[in-house]
Amino acid sequence: MGSALVVAVVKYGLLGLLWVFILLAVRTIRADLSGRPAAPPPQPKAMRPTSTKAARPAKPVKRKGVPSKLVVTEGALRGTTVTLADAPVTLGRAHDSTLVLTDDYASNRHARLVPTDSGWTLEDLGSTNGTYLGSTKVSRPTPVPLGSVIRIGKTEIELRA
């Protein structure tokens, strides 16, 4: 009978469409996970890095001896890791910092890690309580060797390969 066929088509069609929706949704997640190149945040043209190396999509470099991530080893954020790319990492309590510190002894804009040709450089941004690399206070941009401890207030941070 015609109407029975229509009813069956509607019934299975609805269930099929339901799962097509889910498959589309899952595909969206997969596209997110595969880590397509991130669109660069809006920047004034003059400030854009000009070297061809920096213009390539940000991707953690896996080379021996070059830090690929930043690990918080002590303090309220212990266990947090940040993957290092080619962009500078800002540390502080200000909530637009790359790593937002929940530490009473940290300043809003406390310190900054900047990638250079020879590795990462730590720079204090005029914090109230200072930034320490190992046991020395950082007063000028200082290169950070792998595994040495950066201390900000009660937070300790290490760069790891």
Partner 1 sequence: MSALTAPQGPARSRRGTELTLLLFATALAATGYAAVGIGQNGTVPSGTLGYGLGLGTLYVLAHLAVRRCAPYADPLLLPCVALLNGLGIVLVRRLDLASADRARQAGRAVPRADAPLQLIWTTIGVGLFVAVLVVVRDHTRLARYAYTCAAAGLLLLLLPALPGVGATINGARLWIRVGPITVQPSEIAKILLMVFFASFLVSKRDVLSLASRRVAGIDLPRARDLGPVLFAWVASIAVLVREKDLGTSLLFFGIFVVMLYIATERTSWLLIGLALFAGSSFTAYHLFGHVQARVDTWLDPFRYTNNQGYQLVQGLFGMGTGGIFGTGLGEGSPNTVPFAKTDFILAAIGEELGLVGVMAVLVLFALIVERGLRAALTCRDSFGKLLGGGLSFALALQVFVIVGGVTGLIPLTGVTLPWLSYGGSSVVTNYVLIALLMRISDAARRPAPSPVSPSAARASLQDAPTTVVRRG
List interacting residues with partner 1 (CB under 8 A). 3, 6-8, 10-15, 17-19, 21-22, 24-26, 28-29, 32, 35-36, 38-44, 47, 58, 76-83, 85, 87-90, 94-100, 102, 107-109, 112, 125-126
Please say which residue, 3 or 136, places its beta carbon nearer to partner 1. Answer: 3
Any idea what DSSP says for residue 24? H
- Nearer Cβ to partner 1 (5/65): 5
Residue with tokens 């060797």: 145
CA angle 118, 56, 96 (to 5 degrees): 80
Q: CB of residue 56 vs partner 1: minimum separation in angstroms?
A: 13
What is the Cα–Cα distance from 84 to 156, expressed in whole angstroms? Answer: 17
Pick the closer one to partner 1 by CB: 12 or 147.
12
For tokens 């947090």, the residue is 80
Kindly state the smallest distance separating residue 90's Cβ from partner 1, in Å: 5
Encoded tokens for 132: 């320490």
Encoded tokens for 14: 């609805």
